[in-house]
């Protein structure tokens, strides 16, 4: 069974009175799905019917295809993750109409729509803009992690430092994603379709260090050289005050513990 066959098989068993609407979301809702996409669904249900629909969905899905993984996440609404024995991934979010969230006609496709929910949606959502709170957090956290470099190196905690480099790389990627204007950008597993070729080249060029002191120190500084100028430019654009004293203190700390050049590494 493939994704399209699963989608075709879902509608009939979910066509029950408690389900007021069933919508494809994610890449299938946006029309950008590929062979690797999971099937994201949103069920809009009558008030108080969430648990009934969740139980019904589990029975219906097992009847369509054998399920080898099942997980329920409490997110204010019910989020159900399932994986079939063929590793077909399917997620269902269950909530009432008030939980339907920030949607548009170009981000969902109706499979069931008893109450005309789809026709009430705007054609498209406005472009996303960088979130100043997120950018401010990324800047402060990145500088803080740079300041922890002497601690990890001094203790010889090189395995942990590899994890730290991954986190700092993640901060850089999140910063770059702040300028993605698509209102529904989707998940991280198609990042290369959202970032520019130049940004992807930058990410590919950054080192993946082994748990060795010199490699880890250089990886931190390579990330800093990529992150800091971009973060400064975005902070200026968003009117975020740059933490000059924090950065200066971090440079001084690195110079004292790792050598004078470390304080000028970016």
Q: Are residues 85 and 51 in the same domain?
A: yes
Contact 117, 97 (CB under 8 A): yes
Q: Are strands 89-95 and 39-45 parallel, antiparallel or unpaired?
A: parallel
Is the pLDDT assigned to residue 193 strictly greater than 80? yes
* pLDDT of res. 66: 95
d(C-alpha 112, C-alpha 114), whole Å: 6
Q: Residue 188: pLDDT band by 50, 70, 90 thresholds? A: low
Is the pLDDT assigned to residue 157 strictly greater than 90? yes
What mean pLDDT comes out for the span 10-20? 96
Number of domains forming the structure of the chain:
2
Asked whether residue 125 is domain-assigned, the answer is: no
Q: Are residues 184 and 248 in the same domain?
A: yes
d(C-alpha 104, C-alpha 124), whole Å: 5
User: What CATH number is attached to the domain comprising 72?
Assistant: 3.30.460.10
Q: Are residues 153 and 252 in the same domain?
A: yes
Asked whether residue 71 is domain-assigned, the answer is: yes
Q: Are residues 99 and 152 in the same domain?
A: no
Is the pLDDT assigned to residue 190 strictly greater than 90? no
Quickly count: other Cβ atoms within 10 Å of residue 123's Cβ.
7
pTM comes to 0.84
d(C-alpha 254, C-alpha 139), whole Å: 17
Q: Residue 170's domain spans which residues? A: 132-264
Per residue in 36-52, pLDDT tens?
999 999 999 999 999 99
Q: What angle do CA 47, 93, 88 make, to 5 degrees?
A: 145
């Amino acid at each position: 069974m493939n994704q399209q066959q699963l989608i075709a098989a879902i509608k009939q068993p979910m066509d029950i009175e408690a389900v007021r609407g069933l919508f494809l979301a994610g890449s299938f809702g946006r029309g950008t799905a590929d062979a690797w996409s999971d099937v994201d669904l949103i069920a809009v249900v009558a008030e108080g019917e969430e648990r009934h629909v969740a139980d019904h969905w589990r029975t219906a899905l097992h009847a369509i295809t054998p399920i080898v993984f099942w997980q329920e996440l409490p997110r204010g609404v019910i989020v159900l993750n399932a994986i079939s024995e063929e590793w077909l991934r399917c997620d269902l979010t269950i909530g009432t109409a008030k939980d339907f969230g920030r949607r548009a006609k170009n981000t969902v496709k109706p499979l069931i729509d008893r109450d005309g929910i789809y026709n009430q949606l705007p054609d498209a959502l406005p472009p996303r803009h960088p979130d100043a709170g997120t950018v401010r957090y990324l800047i402060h956290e990145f500088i803080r992690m740079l300041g922890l470099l002497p601690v990890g190196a001094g203790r010889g905690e090189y395995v942990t430092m590899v994890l730290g480099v991954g986190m700092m790389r993640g901060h850089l990627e999140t910063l770059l994603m702040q300028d993605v204007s698509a209102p529904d950008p989707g998940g991280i597993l198609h990042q290369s379709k959202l970032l520019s070729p130049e940004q992807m080249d930058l990410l590919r060029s950054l080192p993946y260090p082994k748990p060795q002191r010199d490699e880890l120190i250089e990886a931190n500084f390579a990330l800093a050289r990529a992150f800091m100028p971009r973060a400064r430019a975005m902070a200026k654009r968003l009117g975020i005050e740059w933490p000059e004293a924090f950065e200066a203190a971090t440079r001084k700390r690195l110079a004292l513990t790792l050598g004078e050049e470390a304080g000028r590494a970016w």
